[in-house]
Structure 1
Amino acid sequence: MDGIEIYDSILACGHKSPNSIDPVRIVFRNTLRKHICIYWIDHNGKFTFYGLLPSRKNLTIDSYTGHLWCVRCFETGNLIKLKLTHENGSSYLKEVPSIDELHNYQRNFAVFYPVEEVKSLRDILLTYFSKLPQESSIESLPLPDGITENIIRCSQFTKNFHSQTRREVSMAMMERH
């Protein structure tokens, strides 16, 4: 699945938010018809859940220069692209640069991953299989070995993502009340 391969490649690059004390304000504008989850990529390269942003809503975040952000579809776990904006002239948004450019940034910026969400037949099948209440014997289907392994791997990823995200959203909501 393209979204998961891109996610794996992002982790493999070792992107991390640099230590910075220069504040920057970013606005996440969710123009999609689905809820999204916002993640900060911390100083160790770990995806840290920030919050849930409902469809057609905006969220202003106080961040620091060079910090990395990423968003996922709440329902599927796929990385997605958002329209982002800025609130003042001292901050702006930039697509993920090369590692060298990331370490040599000249101006205040917050960074996001511009990954398009594409629904293919394979994505639809993966979502379907991952939501089945009981384990299905996918090995019994007449599919090539590579596809079968990919479906199993992606299905497990989606199940784990749903479980972790729902837990994080519940905890965040409980902390706010």
Structure 2
Amino acid sequence: MLDVLTTNMQALAGLDRAAMGALLANMIDGFRADCDRAERRGSTVPRHFRIHWDGDFFSLEYAEAWADVIRASPDVRFWVYTRSFDPSALDVLPALTDLPNLTVYLSVDPDNLPAAMEARRRHPWARWAYLAETFADGRADLAALPGKRYPCPENGRRLPLITEKGSACIRCGICPSGRGDVVFAIAKK
């Protein structure tokens, strides 16, 4: 699988925004075609697409290319987890603002909590995907913050990652819908 990720990254490296956008749009067209095929076979397939299952935004231009694709795809609900929210390094949040079919989760842990708090001050629409030792620790760490928090049911072993009914993320629906912040636990409890 690492070969696939490396090949995909190399395909994007060095391209301008328009060229990256064309490759990403082609991928989303393929996703739609896969959904259409499944529906012709009788399945109900939500058009929910997770950006990156491993990796992150590597440049502002890459994030802007994704924003272009998301704007052009109002029929698809996108969500993404990112650690690229620090203005002193790479902050993609300005490029991802005002996209009603995108939910952005800041990947937060105790080490980057101050930067995440500042990012959320600047971009209150961004959600958190918070990693703590346990779900109780995560709830306690975030208790003073407004909003709803949900423990990830797949991470807590209450929902299998993949079944014949689909992925845990689609069946749960919290992350694609953006209903609130999500807590993940290292100890899975």
Please, what TM-score do these two structures have when normalized by structure 2?
0.25
The answer to which structure has the higher helix fraction is 2
Relative contact order (alpha carbons < 8 A, sep ≥ 6): 1 or 2 greater? 1
